[in-house]
Amino acid sequence: MDPATSQPLSLSDFDISPERGFLPSDPCESLPDCPALNQLSHELPKLSSAHQVRRFINEQPALLSSIPSSWCEDDYRTAMRILSFAGHAYVWETPGQPALKLPSQLARPWYELGQKIGRPPVLSYASYALDNWRRLDRTKPIQLDNIVLLQNFLGGLDEEWFVVVHIQIERQAGPGLEGLLQAITAASNGKDDEVLVGLQALASAQTAMRDTLLRMKERCDPYIYYTRVRPYIHAWKNNPSLPNGLIYDGVEAYAERPQQFRGETGAQSSIVPCLDAGLGIHHAPDPLTVYLQEMREYMPPRHRALIHALESQTDRSGKALLSGYVRVRRQSHPELWSAYCVCVDLLVQFREIHIGYADSYINRQHQTSTTNSTAVGTGGTPFMTYLQKHLDETKQAVGVYPNP
- Worst-scoring range by mean pLDDT, 26-35, 126-135, 371-380? 371-380
Please determine, for residue 378, whether its predicted confidence score (pLDDT) is greater than 70.
Answer: no
The single-letter code of the amino acid at 6 is S
Distance CA 241, CA 114 (A): 24
Count Cα atoms within 13 angstroms, Cβ side, for 371: 19
For residue 400, name the pLDDT band (cuts at 50, 70, 90).
very low
Q: Is 283 exposed, middle or buried (0-12, 13-18, 19+ CB in 10 A)?
A: middle
The single-letter code of the amino acid at 108 is R
**CA-angle at 225, arms to 221 and 228, nearest 5°:** 125
H helical segments located in 92-221: 104-117, 125, 157-188, 192-213
CB 153 within 8 A of CB 294: no
Predicted confidence (pLDDT) per residue in 52-69, tens digit: 999 999 999 999 999 999
Question: Residue 174 has what pLDDT?
Answer: 98
Mean pLDDT of 360-368: 80
Chain-wide mean pLDDT for the chain? 93
Please determine, for residue 364, whether its predicted confidence score (pLDDT) is greater than 50.
Answer: yes
Question: Residue 40 has what pLDDT?
Answer: 98
Reported as type and span, the H/E element at residue 248 is strand 247-248
**CA-angle at 85, arms to 113 and 149, nearest 5°:** 110
- Worst-scoring range by mean pLDDT, 90-99, 254-263, 368-377? 368-377
Distance CA 195, CA 198 (A): 5
Mean pLDDT of 205-221: 98
Beta bridge partners of 247: 101
Distance CA 382, CA 376 (A): 4
For residue 6, name the pLDDT band (cuts at 50, 70, 90).
low
Predicted confidence (pLDDT) per residue in 157-187, tens digit: 999 999 999 999 999 999 999 999 999 999 9
For residue 377, name the pLDDT band (cuts at 50, 70, 90).
low
For residue 316, name the pLDDT band (cuts at 50, 70, 90).
confident
Collapsing DSSP to helix, strand or coil, 76 comes out as helix
Residue 375, number of CB atoms within 10 A of its CB:
13
377: DSSP letter: -
Please determine, for residue 79, whether its predicted confidence score (pLDDT) is greater than 70.
Answer: yes
- Worst-scoring range by mean pLDDT, 159-168, 261-270, 374-383? 374-383
Please determine, for residue 401, whether its predicted confidence score (pLDDT) is greater than 80.
Answer: no
Distance CA 131, CA 166 (A): 12
Tally of residues, the chain: 404
Reported as type and span, the H/E element at residue 135 is strand 134-135
| End-to-end Cα, the chain, rounded Å | 28
Distance CA 118, CA 113 (A): 8
Bridge-based pairing of strands 134-135 and 147-148 is: antiparallel
For residue 376, name the pLDDT band (cuts at 50, 70, 90).
low
Answer yes or no: pTM beyond 0.85: yes
Question: Residue 402 has what pLDDT?
Answer: 43
CB burial of 81-118 (b: ≥16 within 10 Å; e: otherwise) equals: bbbbbbbbbbbbbeeeebbeebbebbbbbbbbbbebbe
CB 298 within 8 A of CB 158: no
Which candidate, 118, 162, 168, places its Cα nearest to that of 143?
168
For residue 287, name the pLDDT band (cuts at 50, 70, 90).
confident
CB 196 within 8 A of CB 340: no
Question: Residue 362 has what pLDDT?
Answer: 82
For residue 3, name the pLDDT band (cuts at 50, 70, 90).
low
Predicted confidence (pLDDT) per residue in 129-164, tens digit: 999 999 999 999 999 999 999 999 999 999 999 999
CATH topology of domain 11-395: Methane Monooxygenase Hydroxylase; Chain G, domain 1 (1.20.58)
Cβ-Cβ contacts under 8 Å for 89 (sequence gap 6 or more):
44, 47, 48, 53, 153, 232
Collapsing DSSP to helix, strand or coil, 102 comes out as strand
Over its C-alpha atoms, the chain yields an Rg (Å, rounded) of 22
Predicted confidence (pLDDT) per residue in 236-254, tens digit: 998 999 999 999 999 999 9
Q: Where are the domains of the chain?
A: 11-395
Collapsing DSSP to helix, strand or coil, 290 comes out as helix
